[in-house]
Structure 1
Amino acid sequence: MKKILFLLTFSLLFGCANNKVETNPKLIVLISVDQMRGDYLETFNSQFEGGLLDFYTNGAFYTNTRHNHAITTTAAGHATIATGFFPSHHGIVTNTVYNRELGYSHYSIEDSTVNFIGIDSCSLNKVSAKRLMKSSFGDILKQHNENSKTYSVALKDRASILMGGKNANRAFWFDVASTQMVSTDYYKEEFPKWVQNYKADSVMSTAIHHGWKLDPAFATLSSTNSDSFSREKGSFKPWFPHTIESFDTNRIRQHEVGSFMWNTPFGDEYVLNFGYNIISHEELGKDENCDILTIGLSAADIIGHHFGPDSYEVLDYYNKLDKYLADFMSKVNTQVGKENVVYILTSDHGVAPMPEVLAGRGLDAKRIENEKYDTDILAIDLKLQQKYNLDSSCILRANYNGVEPHFLYLNEKGIDSIDFVNSLQHELSNLDYIQETFSFFELNSEQSNKEYFEQMKNSHSNDYGVFVKILGKENYLIDMRENGTTHGTPYPYDTHVPLIFLGRGIPAHKNSDKSYTVDIAPTILSILKIEPKTPFDGRILTLELSSK
């Protein structure tokens, strides 16, 4: 029934779109700003005058867009955006996964069979889209038109690779040592020679020399912290300006230029410039075969982790991004024709506020550091050993995602697994910073009364992850270092992201109806008038396309 309703809806929308717009756009550019919260466009809007203002003012803005999965991480988010499926279906449930069969953790996109090309040597992880279980919207476009081209670029490998999909012409990501974009022989197209000469240490030399300084027009907002908030310590000292010379040498000891790209807005400026060069050199949007470029802006995430959403740095990043996007879109519109391009702006996840900032405002918020969490888990382990008359640890591993019981040992001792898991969940729930727990037993059932069960189930895989997942209280950071902030929960600050369609035939409007990131891929395909063979987890958003 779901399939019939989905295809009927697609046919109706497809027919409406076909009556209004007779030809496809020549180029679709999807930009994912890593860790961009859904409230940033409203919060920072008073300072925008470029590309972000263009999206905000002239785009179809879905203001109530959420990721509807619980483990909100880069890999899971970008795979969801690209495929239109939840992590439980596309297979990329988080960045680094605990492999239950192998008994250890590994990178979710690792692939030892590939080799780097276009560079003499590269020490980065060998990775590919091999483990992605669903096709991206770019893959589906190429299935319908073999002459269409799809490319992807980001500083992060997982952002570029997963948005590019399984059959991109090529995906590129950043090598901090060489400051060059790299790729592998997973992609069959010849590695472009121009890429080898487009190194950040040369094309971004002016920015590197001057360092990251506050924009001259910078003005604090009511929500902005001071410029030296104690918990902001990351790769740089907590105050402006940020230069190679001001790196914390305990964290950055080599590859300073490449690290500067990772840790400043200039890394994402470089990525946008690289993206434009893909369009220019590979001649995207030059004929009637629609092409796709996906761009991941990863430096935003590093900056957000170190400094937090209320910092000078995050606000200044978006002021600069506003200008970078204006420049990028101006060049693309000149190259391809503004009437031929559709842009999409979104994000893989949001971020939690610094709990110390919230506590200073009188809210219940805490940072549970690694040592505290480890001590609590040890106490639970000892209590369960006593309860079940055991003489060794009954917990195999524990981290911020949850706890893995030592099932092999428990089975040897004749302990009932269900009873033990129930006891473990009870003890975990007694910790004053734990909101809820979810076991594999529960997540493999069809329903539960627990809050966020649906989101947890959408992040669940029987192959990956600890057996008992934990959800900390809202505004609490669990198993954390002493500085910075993070993401990874189903709370609104992590799941609420922007979603804006801008360009060819799309009238400006704001829609506050509930929408999800799984809706992005089917909506893009509806713009291209491609009818899918199977239904997505998402639905098609009505864009009210016109021929104007």
Structure 2
Amino acid sequence: MIRINQSKFLFFPILFLMFSLVIQSQKRGKISETETIKTTPKLVVGIVVDQMRYDYLTRFYHHYGDDGFKRMVNEGFNCKNNHFNYAPTSTGPGHASVYTGTTPATHGIIGNNWYDKLNDVEVYCASDDSYASVGTTTAAGQMSPHRMNVTTITDQLRLHTQMRGKTIAIALKDRGAVLPGGHTANAAYWFQGHDEGKWVTSSYYMDQLPKWVNDFNASGKVQSYKKAWNTLKDINTYQESGLDNNNYEGLFEDETTPTFPHSTPNLLDKTKDFEFIKAIPYGNSLTADFAIEAIEKEQLGADTITDFLAISFSSTDYVGHKYGVNSKEVQDTYLRLDKDLARLFKTLDKRVGEGEYTVFLTADHAAINVPAYLKDQKIPAGYIEKTDMAGFSDFLKYTYGTEDIVKDYSNFQFFLDHKIIKNLDLQLREVQERIANEVLGYSFVDRVYTGYQMRQNNYTTGIPYILQNGYHQKRSGDILVVAKPGFISYPKTGSTHGSPQIYDTHAPLLFFGKGIKKGSTVERTEIPDIAPTIAALLGIAFPNGTTGKPISKVLE
């Protein structure tokens, strides 16, 4: 009798089944790995809110609706400890740093304006008279990104898609559109106010405006926003800001008090003079209208090749400068911006598809509270007066026999005349140090650094780290001055920015949409981290000057 071992017969089918499952698992793993190597939203939308402090998100939070800022927080990722890691903190460097993934030390946009020491002339970050204006007969369109030395995330997306992905950049301010659009944008548009009230561009991008832009300009939409500004809600509910009538706020012409409603007859009765719209929240609404029109007419996000829409909301900056961070005007501006964001997101849901686009929102800088207000609250603060440096000219004459050894002073930097220093048979380092020691003795000064220190040392924390990231060896000055915290060179009303102090560096950073986790972090993130994070999401090359790093917690 032959005895059959049934367990052996059962063993082989089980072994084959297990082997098949392993193979299938490995195949699934490979598919999964391929699928997750990149995320392909149909559209990336980058939003920069000009002069937005992080605490505007939290101070006004319970006033916001569910579909604007709250949607980004609830459905996306909130970086609560996000900072600019360079100075000066101003609009040009801010937009350039967001989109290049690096700092002025590398991308070269060291201010809105700066002294060009090679050509002995003051320059503007986006100006370029080698191109013509398009849509206006003024010089307002003579712009290009030629002073930005590196690529942007928008450039890299264009290169990655063989120029098939489209980039459109929009802002009231020219620099808020030109710099984010990068070197390869299909279009960048900005608002020419004054007596025209039109969206314009540069021949750098095109020879004539598209029909849809001309149609928008002729639609009467701009004129419709020349109207009185009253509060969106009952002003008595605005408990998160100071008194409406105070001494810390500026005035429009014809106004006697800085109070609501702002309905200055001379401005509103004029058939022209559209600059007024920039300085009220309707400028943001106009920007949203134009961006929504661009989504539709340019068919952004309409196919599987990723497009990029860069939007900068500029009116927040104008309002902050005029009224200050503690004003009811600032609060109302953000409540209205929240509604504009909701409109934009609903359009994206409809035109591109919910879950088919990715958005980030940040700022180009934050702002200081009005020093006059801080002083009244017994907080150290003040203003820098011309008399604070009254003895500087005498010092230069006594020490060097001439004032001309200093060629320029801008962005809190002294630029020295190196030819004069050489002719006097002096050492540049010694001259820098001697002038720095003199300036350090002035009452408003907190600290001073020299160009030699910026070049020779490697700072990793604190104020010198921030200054060094803003220091471009070919473009920056010889002596860098840091004012005391709370001290500014500005009129007695309204807020400003530009310093390396934390009130100017702490800005929001929100992500939401395709490929973004839900959550938040209090770990430090920095503005140059945004571009490489988006690049990692898309699976494309980083901008070629990138010094930031991807924020891994943000990505699914």
Q: TM-score, normalised by structure 2?
A: 0.88
Q: Which amino acid aligns with 2:104?
A: P
Deviations 1:265-292 (CA, angstroms, capped at 9, x unpaired): 1111111110111110011111100111
Residue of structure 2 in register with 1:128 after alignment: 144
Contact 1:271 1:297 in 2 (8 A): yes
Q: Give the whole-Å Cα distance in 1 for the aligned partners of 2:412 and 2:442.
A: 15
| Aligned: 1:517 with 2:527 | yes
Q: Give the whole-Å Cα distance in 2 for the aligned partners of 1:473 and 1:62.
A: 28
**How big is the shift at 1:538?**
0.8
Deviations 1:130-163 (CA, angstroms, capped at 9, x unpaired): 1211111111111111211010000000010101
- For residues 317-396 of structure 1, the aligned pairs below 5 Å read 317-368=333-384, 372-373=385-386, 375-388=387-400, 390=401, 394-396=405-407
SS of alignment partner, residue 396 of structure 1: strand
SS of alignment partner, residue 153 of structure 1: strand
Q: Give the whole-Å Cα distance in 2 for the aligned partners of 1:307 and 1:190.
A: 38
**How big is the shift at 1:257?**
4.3
Q: Give the whole-Å Cα distance in 1 for the aligned partners of 2:120 and 2:554.
A: 50
| Aligned: 1:474 with 2:491 | no
Residue of structure 1 in register with 2:262 after alignment: 242
Identity of aligned residues (%): 27
Residue of structure 2 in register with 1:165 after alignment: 182
Contact 1:68 1:517 in 2 (8 A): yes
Deviations 1:466-517 (CA, angstroms, capped at 9, x unpaired): 3212110111113x23332211111111111111111124232111111111
**How big is the shift at 1:31?**
0.8
Tell me which moved more, 405-414 or 159-168. 405-414
| Aligned: 1:43 with 2:59 | yes
Q: Of the candidates 490, 493, 502, which is equivalent to residue 512 of structure 2?
A: 502
Q: Of the candidates 474, 487, 498, which is equivalent to residue 463 of structure 1?
A: 474
Cα distance change of structure 1 residues 393 and 149 upon mapping to structure 2, 3 Å threshold: closer
SS of alignment partner, residue 139 of structure 2: coil
Residue of structure 2 in register with 1:186 after alignment: 204
Cα distance change of structure 1 residues 336 and 476 upon mapping to structure 2, 3 Å threshold: same
Q: Give the whole-Å Cα distance in 2 for the aligned partners of 1:41 and 1:259.
A: 27
Cα distance change of structure 1 residues 410 and 376 upon mapping to structure 2, 3 Å threshold: farther
Q: Give the whole-Å Cα distance in 2 for the aligned partners of 1:432 and 1:269.
A: 43
Contact 1:442 1:448 in 2 (8 A): no
Cα distance change of structure 1 residues 410 and 536 upon mapping to structure 2, 3 Å threshold: closer
Residue of structure 2 in register with 1:9 after alignment: none
Cα distance change of structure 1 residues 161 and 215 upon mapping to structure 2, 3 Å threshold: same
- For residues 190-205 of structure 1, the aligned pairs below 5 Å read 191-199=209-217, 202-205=220-223
Q: Give the whole-Å Cα distance in 2 for the aligned partners of 1:450 and 1:433.
A: 23
Residue of structure 1 in register with 2:46 after alignment: 30
Contact 1:179 1:200 in 2 (8 A): no
Deviations 1:374-412 (CA, angstroms, capped at 9, x unpaired): x33341220232244x26554333345132344444444
Q: Give the whole-Å Cα distance in 2 for the aligned partners of 1:256 and 1:227.
A: 29
Q: Give the whole-Å Cα distance in 2 for the aligned partners of 1:29 and 1:100.
A: 37
Contact 1:32 1:348 in 2 (8 A): yes
Q: Which amino acid aligns with 2:183?
A: K
**How big is the shift at 1:184?**
1.3
Q: Give the whole-Å Cα distance in 1 for the aligned partners of 2:158 and 2:48.
A: 21
Q: Which amino acid aligns with 2:391?
A: A
Cα distance change of structure 1 residues 16 and 443 upon mapping to structure 2, 3 Å threshold: farther
Q: Which amino acid aligns with 2:289?
A: N
Q: Of the candidates 48, 57, 70, which is equivalent to residue 87 of structure 2?
A: 70
Q: Give the whole-Å Cα distance in 1 for the aligned partners of 2:357 and 2:96.
A: 23
Residue of structure 2 in register with 1:530 after alignment: 540
Q: Which amino acid aligns with 2:40?
A: N
**RMSD of aligned Cα (Å):** 2.6
Deviations 1:57-78 (CA, angstroms, capped at 9, x unpaired): 2221111111111111101010
Deviations 1:220-255 (CA, angstroms, capped at 9, x unpaired): 5555222122231154542211234265xxxx9988
SS of alignment partner, residue 190 of structure 2: strand
Contact 1:129 1:161 in 2 (8 A): yes
Cα distance change of structure 1 residues 299 and 391 upon mapping to structure 2, 3 Å threshold: closer
Residue of structure 1 in register with 2:232 after alignment: 215
Contact 1:17 1:527 in 2 (8 A): no
Contact 2:372 2:492 in 1 (8 A): no
Residue of structure 2 in register with 1:8 after alignment: none
Q: Give the whole-Å Cα distance in 1 for the aligned partners of 2:296 and 2:373.
A: 45
SS of alignment partner, residue 231 of structure 1: coil
Residue of structure 2 in register with 1:10 after alignment: none
| Aligned: 1:541 with 2:545 | no
SS of alignment partner, residue 230 of structure 1: coil
Cα distance change of structure 1 residues 449 and 34 upon mapping to structure 2, 3 Å threshold: closer
Q: Give the whole-Å Cα distance in 1 for the aligned partners of 2:170 and 2:543.
A: 28
- For residues 87-166 of structure 1, the aligned pairs below 5 Å read 87-117=104-134, 119=135, 121-124=137-140, 126-145=142-161, 146-166=163-183
Contact 1:507 1:545 in 2 (8 A): yes
**How big is the shift at 1:444?**
1.1
Q: Of the candidates 284, 292, 304, which is equivalent to residue 268 of structure 1?
A: 284
Deviations 1:424-472 (CA, angstroms, capped at 9, x unpaired): 1111111121111122111111335994111111111233233212110
Q: Give the whole-Å Cα distance in 1 for the aligned partners of 2:221 and 2:33.
A: 42
Q: Of the candidates 480, 487, 504, which is equivalent to residue 497 of structure 2?
A: 487
Q: Give the whole-Å Cα distance in 1 for the aligned partners of 2:335 and 2:306.
A: 31
Q: Give the whole-Å Cα distance in 2 for the aligned partners of 1:328 and 1:454.
A: 37
Tell me which moved more, 99-108 or 379-388. 379-388
Tell me which moved more, 399-408 or 353-362. 399-408
Cα distance change of structure 1 residues 392 and 48 upon mapping to structure 2, 3 Å threshold: closer
Contact 2:101 2:543 in 1 (8 A): no
**How big is the shift at 1:341?**
1.2
Cα distance change of structure 1 residues 449 and 21 upon mapping to structure 2, 3 Å threshold: closer
Q: Give the whole-Å Cα distance in 1 for the aligned partners of 2:402 and 2:294.
A: 61
Cα distance change of structure 1 residues 87 and 533 upon mapping to structure 2, 3 Å threshold: closer
Cα distance change of structure 1 residues 544 and 83 upon mapping to structure 2, 3 Å threshold: closer
Cα distance change of structure 1 residues 134 and 396 upon mapping to structure 2, 3 Å threshold: closer
Cα distance change of structure 1 residues 296 and 213 upon mapping to structure 2, 3 Å threshold: same
SS of alignment partner, residue 70 of structure 1: coil
Q: Give the whole-Å Cα distance in 2 for the aligned partners of 1:288 and 1:448.
A: 44
Number of residue pairs matched by the alignment: 521
Contact 1:201 1:257 in 2 (8 A): no
> Which has more radius of gyration?
2
Tell me which moved more, 198-207 or 227-236. 198-207
Q: Which amino acid aligns with 1:502?
A: F
Residue of structure 1 in register with 2:445 after alignment: 434
